[in-house]
Structure 1
Amino acid sequence: MNAKGMPKRPTGLSEQAVRIWKSLGPKLHELGLLAEIDASTFAVYCQAFGDWLQLTRYLNRLGPLKWYSTTENGYRQTIPELQVRDRAFQVLHKLSTRFGLDPSSRTGLGVVA
């Protein structure tokens, strides 16, 4: 833990994930939703959020018409970046409820933000 009681951030996070950790972590800690034991799970949340943001920006620049390709057999498939972004969102959504990051889960955790 650091001087303020915040859990120590694990190494190896992307720059975007570190920014999310620094921005959101202290708020969650202040609400009693982030303790040392939660550091690895919160790191996964931050990394998934960072990946989702980065891939969303990339896909927006690419444009929706380029999100699909056609195979040699004529089948239409999504590009890998879209699939990875969707998986990051699934992780993000699942972990957001554990940290009270939506009104419903805060109610269940008895937290007022």
Structure 2
Amino acid sequence: MDNQIKPPAFLNVEAKKKFQTIYAALNADNKWRDGDEIALSALCASYQHWVEAEKAIKKNGDLCFTTDTGYRQQIPEISIANNAMKNMLSFIKEFALTPRERTKLKEMILKEDNNADDEMEDMIQK
């Protein structure tokens, strides 16, 4: 890869590795387009937030805390982890990084190829 895209500086080491891995895979498959670094950066930032929140949840040991008024509330890291996961999944779908999305993409490509053949057949028959 002579024109390597670098991950943004705000990502931690683990998220930068994910960025480079995903970029390399997309680039190798000729699926990388100009501007994709923005969405990939957002995906990796969401990944970073999710991992950090999950580590904080594990470290906390309790999913709730007691407020000054005596109510039990969910720790904020749970919401952070859930939101980061939702964001990640939406970006993962955009890049067709799940098995289901790759299957759908493959089916779309095959369908497009078949439609082109049908059009060609119609032209030949006329």
Q: Is TM more than 0.5 here?
A: yes
Superposed displacement of residue 8, structure 1: 4.1
- The answer as to 2:101 corresponding to 1:105 is yes
Residues of 2 paired with 1:21 and 1:88: CA distance? 16
Backbone CA RMSD of aligned residues: 2.1
Larger Rg: 2
Give CA-to-partner distance per residue, 1:84-109, whole Å, 9 cap, x none. 11110010111110111111111222
Q: Displaced runs of 4+ in structure 1, greater than 6 A?
A: none
The answer for the alignment partner of 1:85 in structure 2 is 81
Paired residues, number: 107
Residues of 2 paired with 1:107 and 1:47: CA distance? 26
Given residue 110 of structure 1, which amino acid in structure 2 is its aligned partner? K
Unaligned runs of 5+ in 1: none
Residues of 1 paired with 2:67 and 2:83: CA distance? 22
Residues of 2 paired with 1:76 and 1:22: CA distance? 41
Identical positions, percent: 23
> What TM-score do you get using the length of structure 1 for normalisation?
0.78
Residues of 2 paired with 1:36 and 1:26: CA distance? 14
